[in-house]
Structure 1
Amino acid sequence: MTEQQPAIRLTGLTKAFGSVTAVDHVDLEIAAGEFFSMLGPSGSGKTTVLRLIAGFEQPTGGTIELFGHDVTKTAPFDRDVNTVFQDYALFPHMSVLDNVAYGLRVRGVKRSERRERAMAALAAVRLDQMAARKPSQLSGGQRQRVALARATVVQPKALLLDEPLGALDLKLREQMQVELKQIQRDLGITFIFVTHDQEEALTLSDRIAVFHDGRIEQLGTPEDLYERPASRFVADFVGTSNLFDLERSSALIGRAGEHSIRPEKLTLASSPATAPGERSAEGTVVESIYVGSGIRRVIDLDAGMRVTVLERNDRARASDDDRGDRVHVTWHDEDVVSLIPPGA
């Protein structure tokens, strides 16, 4: 975190719906110009936090500051933020240009200036050549970019995005992830992005807050969360992990506590590990799954647990050639991550 004033500061933020606490004393600072993601499963509290920042919900407790100003009780239309939803809610009877200019029109901006600023916003998302079209004449990705242009044309200090790529197919989502990151860099404003898709969060974000049961389970860079998960929940939710409980950690890893190892950190061999700092466990291949860029091997260890090994697809071999083979699963000590629950 820099020494500059944060774009968003949440202090003790709490939201209860009757007897259910959706957000439980969240403290968070988001830097100006940061692409920040809130990641978590359904019901984890991430969307409620976004709605609290936008002003669509009022907190039960705590405060919300925007660039140093307390906006906890400020109406949504008086907060210098804008929101893009999964449903882009474009006006079907209006042209793309008029959709983008609508917010300026509501604010009383003169027609000539509205058009100039709307065209500039469309140019920023590379859609200025489609200004005269109607939303029905655009693809899903183009409509998403129109929604971004409409949200940014009023020059908010922060843009809130509530799973805006959720309605797109996989290929288009991947394309839009690249475009969204580029748009954010070009605009230089704070993006706060809510998603349940961990790969999407890892791809886009400068930092990520992983939410669980209304709290932030872990906060850090994509590399921090993936390489150094702080709890069993984060290790299991962010990517794929092989999780070793207390008993298996002691027997196989030689350490007390719970631990995890990422599938790509494991290798298969026909003999036990002998190199310094390496360990191995014997088991049987029960499944081999071809995934294009790699082959996912599922191994039942003799010690009584199942692990997944991800091998690079760097040679031609059938994905089911080695089912039933006896193998030694090998790992290096430095690739084992200790899972320490928050507050432990």
Structure 2
Amino acid sequence: MSTEAPAIRLSEVTKTFGAVNAVDGLNLDIAAGEFFSMLGPSGSGKTTVLRLIAGFELPTAGTIELFGRDVTGTAPFDRDVNTVFQDYALFPHMSVLDNVAYGLRVRGMGKAERRERARAALEKVRLGSFGDRRPAQLSGGQRQRVALARATVVEPKALLLDEPLGALDLKLREQMQVELKEIQRDLGITFIFVTHDQEEALTLSDRIAVFSDGRIEQLGTPAEIYERPRSPFVAAFVGTSNIFDDALSRRLLGRPGAHSLRPEKLSLAAGEPPASAGGPATGEHVAAGTIAELVYVGSVTRIFVDLDAGMRVVVVEQNDRHRGIPEERGRRVSVTWRDSDLVALGRANAAAPNDTTTMTH
């Protein structure tokens, strides 16, 4: 990641729509060459921030700088950014090559030069031999790459992507996640990616901003966001978490405050826990419970356990040849976790979706 001045800087940016604060006093720096994702549920403010950076919306208050230049009131066409939307908006009557060259044509570039630039852009997205085709002759992933080529051929300093993979099926979306990261690395420009899909953000990003109610709930690397969530909202929204509220933390953990524990950090054993199991000396906690439900999802099984202490937790076990116990509903089990895997949660900008086990897609 570059150590230069920020590619994009938002300072005390607020955007209101009537009585609603869509963006609330946002301060954010995005580095040159960074793959930066804005993640959050619908209505969290992430798309409004993208539109403010693009110039499609103007802030109610605050300033926006692009590469050291104040563009707060500048029109979209006068900013060194380009945007890729979910629907791609390709011209169906034009060839792929002419679609990619269109932005250069609007800028007055000669035909020979713009076609040469468009061919080079198609080569970068591995569609060099597709220039004569029409968009209708392409797959969804190929149309997405054409949209990327069209957006980058004009050489923007930053590319804004508004949920560009949302229309693709699961397998193609997973494939395009890898390709999109490779394209960004090859181009070396700043990508700002908006998504509500936490797995997509974790896969692609150098850093992630998790949004809630127009504010950033947490900003960090994918590992920081997942492994050390700072609030119940982040723990619940990003991945699957077992969240212990203050009362359960005091009763089960012997400590005050809310805590998060990822399902893969728990382990199961058949039967009741031995009287000597766990404790401060081992740094482990053991709780008795009953299997309530099992969900098979291919590579793993999610096992829901009702603890005797009054909380339902989810445990994830790999479906390999070393499965821990034969699981079935109603079986008595012991659930074990380590102190070092517990994450203390601070106060949130927004409440977690649930007080206990929370699952997202």
Tell me what 2:307 maps to.
301
Equivalent pairs counted in the alignment come to 343
Structure 2 counterpart SS, 1:292: coil
Tell me what 2:329 maps to.
323
Q: 8 Å contact 2:269–2:325 — kept in the other structure?
A: no
Task: State the shift of 1:225 in Å.
Answer: 0.3
Tell me what 1:267 maps to.
267
Q: 1:143 to 1:318 in 2, by over 3 A?
A: farther
Tell me what 1:120 maps to.
120
Tell me what 2:101 maps to.
101
Structure 2 counterpart SS, 1:73: coil
Q: 8 Å contact 1:39–1:196 — kept in the other structure?
A: yes
Tell me what 1:60 maps to.
60
Q: How many Å separate the matches in 2 of 1:218 and 1:72?
A: 25
Q: How many Å separate the matches in 2 of 1:323 and 1:19?
A: 50
Q: How many Å separate the matches in 2 of 1:18 and 1:24?
A: 13
Task: State the shift of 1:317 in Å.
Answer: 7.0
The residue identity in structure 2 corresponding to 1:31 is: A
Residue 194 of structure 1 pairs with residue 197 of structure 2 = no
Q: 8 Å contact 1:289–1:319 — kept in the other structure?
A: no
Q: 8 Å contact 1:283–1:326 — kept in the other structure?
A: yes
Tell me what 1:288 maps to.
294
Q: How many Å separate the matches in 2 of 1:140 and 1:265?
A: 38
Residues 257-305 of structure 1: CA distance to partner in whole angstroms, max 9, x if unpaired?
A: 0001000000011334347100011100011111111111000011111
Aligned with 2:339 (options 320, 330, 333): 333
Task: State the shift of 1:318 in Å.
Answer: 12
Would you identify which runs of 4 or more consecutive aligned residues in structure 1 move more than 3 Å? 272-275, 316-321
Q: 1:297 to 1:74 in 2, by over 3 A?
A: same
Q: How does 1:36-115 map to 2 (within 5 A)?
A: 36-115=36-115
The residue identity in structure 2 corresponding to 1:324 is: G
Q: 8 Å contact 1:9–1:29 — kept in the other structure?
A: yes
Higher mean Cα deviation, 215-224 or 284-293?
284-293
Structure 2 counterpart SS, 1:287: strand
Q: How many Å separate the matches in 2 of 1:209 and 1:319?
A: 39
Residues 3-59 of structure 1: CA distance to partner in whole angstroms, max 9, x if unpaired?
A: 411100000010000111100000000000000000000000000000000000010
The residue identity in structure 1 corresponding to 2:140 is: G
Task: State the shift of 1:341 in Å.
Answer: 1.8
Task: State the shift of 1:79 in Å.
Answer: 0.3
Structure 2 counterpart SS, 1:282: strand
Q: 8 Å contact 1:283–1:329 — kept in the other structure?
A: yes
Report the TM-score when normalising by structure 1. 0.97
The residue identity in structure 1 corresponding to 2:63 is: T
Task: State the shift of 1:323 in Å.
Answer: 1.2
Task: State the shift of 1:122 in Å.
Answer: 0.2
Q: How many Å separate the matches in 2 of 1:227 and 1:14?
A: 30
Residues 113-141 of structure 1: CA distance to partner in whole angstroms, max 9, x if unpaired?
A: 10110000000000010100000000000
Tell me what 2:235 maps to.
235
Tell me what 2:12 maps to.
12
Structure 2 counterpart SS, 1:51: helix
Q: 8 Å contact 1:295–1:319 — kept in the other structure?
A: no
Report the TM-score when normalising by structure 2. 0.93
Q: How many Å separate the matches in 1 of 2:318 and 2:145?
A: 35
Q: How many Å separate the matches in 1 of 2:36 and 2:259?
A: 28
Q: 1:319 to 1:166 in 2, by over 3 A?
A: farther
Q: How many Å separate the matches in 2 of 1:30 and 1:212?
A: 19
Q: 1:334 to 1:316 in 2, by over 3 A?
A: closer
Tell me what 1:313 maps to.
319
The residue identity in structure 2 corresponding to 1:66 is: L
Residue 31 of structure 1 pairs with residue 42 of structure 2 = no
Residue 279 of structure 1 pairs with residue 285 of structure 2 = yes
Higher mean Cα deviation, 320-329 or 5-14?
320-329
Task: State the shift of 1:255 in Å.
Answer: 1.1
Q: How many Å separate the matches in 1 of 2:34 and 2:186?
A: 12
The residue identity in structure 1 corresponding to 2:22 is: A
Task: State the shift of 1:315 in Å.
Answer: 2.2
Residues 52-79 of structure 1: CA distance to partner in whole angstroms, max 9, x if unpaired?
A: 0000001000000000000000000000
